[in-house]
Amino acid sequence: SFFHLKLENKTKGKLQRQICQVVLNHFEKQYTKELGDAWTGVRDVLTHPLCWQYAVLFNKFSWSLELENTLCLKGYHPLFQETLPYLPASLKCYISRTPGRFPAQKHQPGKLKDYYLLNAASLLPVLALEVKDGEEVLDVCAAPGGKSVAILQCAYPGNFHCNEFDSLRSRWLRQTLESFIPTPLINSVTVSNLDGRWIGDLNPELYDKILVDAPCSNDRSWLFSTDIHQATLRLMQRKELSSLQLQLLRSAVKALRPGGSLVYSTCTLSKAENSDVINLILNSCSNILPVDISDMGKAVSQEFTLLGGTQQHELLVLPEKGKAWGPMYVAKLKK
């Protein structure tokens, strides 16, 4: 069938992608040290795109029973079946144990899409944020828009500010929002392309909830860098990422109302960009406290493999075969 043909061609493309040895060697050194034995299993998933998995996030604004039936026939099941500390009934996501990707929907102007394909672990920062109706919400680095769309599946913010500094990615973000969010609601969403490091000064103590899904060394895509020079440059500049992440977090802290909470997330395993950044913030901002998210961790431990021995305010999702979600680091703080 056409569906299978399309999937096969996509798969062939994935198969032909070459592992970038420079990046793998770098990860090998760093992650063997940081993750120990866990790295071997993670490396197996990251270097084999054929075992990657994609979740199907429903769009409640364009809901169809037909989609749910189709997914069930294909062996998908709802992702969150446990009782989570925060799980709006309107957030529906389906996953399958087997690798592969449900076909994506084409963008059609004026027509809402029914679902969004994503790494299931991307929903954890959104669930940790616990957005309630009427709140002022900021997504600092919002493109391509999956987490923004997920936030709007959970609640109706009073104002939702989606920001993306990169102008190309910002256009992509706008298109994503237009494909998923109906007209009256999209009016309560503000899309900007400011430098996230200045938002705290521009909008001090304005927001109840802030998501900082920071630019990071994206372990999955870096491993398949086609340009060796770009890969080498990325690895050299990797150290500078943590200072950018720190600046974005400091800005978010300024923009947060007292009593408000902030979630920081990345899609890297790197301690320098995860725990180290959060520890620096906790040690340097006397008005910031860690928030225990271990309940959420316990509730999702059936579907996600989490690194053991992390602090109560953080989670690190490790991809493994059959649960190829992540890498995803999540930490929660409050002012």
Residue 162 pairs in a beta bridge with 139, 191
Residue 57 pairs in a beta bridge with 93, 116
Closest CA to 81 of 293, 302, 294: 302
Task: Decide: helix, strand or coil at residue 335.
Answer: coil
N- to C-terminal Cα distance for the chain?
Answer: 54
Report the alpha-carbon distance of residue 139 to residue 22 in Å, rounded.
33
- Domains of the chain (ranges; CATH) run 21-95+107-334 (3.40.50.150)
Closest CA to 60 of 152, 137, 138, 156: 152
State pLDDT tens for residues 129-172: 999 999 999 999 999 999 999 999 999 999 999 999 999 999 99
Residues annotated catalytic, as ranges:
267
- Exposed e or buried b for every residue in 303-316, given b needs 16+ CB within 10 A? bbbbbeebeebbbb
Angle at 304 between CA 298 and CA 310, to 5 degrees: 60
Binding site residue list: 141-147, 164, 195, 213
Give the torsion through C-alpha atoms of 26, 32, 34, 37, to 10 deg. Answer: 150
Size of the chain, expressed as the number of residues it contains: 335
Asked whether residue 245 carries a pLDDT value surpassing 70, the answer given is: yes
Strand order across the 93-96 sheet: 76-78, 93-96, 55-58, 115-118
Cα separations (Å) of 316 from 63, 270, 293, 300? 32, 10, 12, 12
Task: Determine the distance from the C-alpha atom of residue 210 to the mean position of all C-alpha atoms in its chain, rounded to a whole number.
Answer: 14
**pLDDT given for residue 6 in this prediction:** 47
State pLDDT tens for residues 55-78: 999 999 998 899 999 999 999 999
Residue 16 — pLDDT band, cuts 50, 70, 90?
low
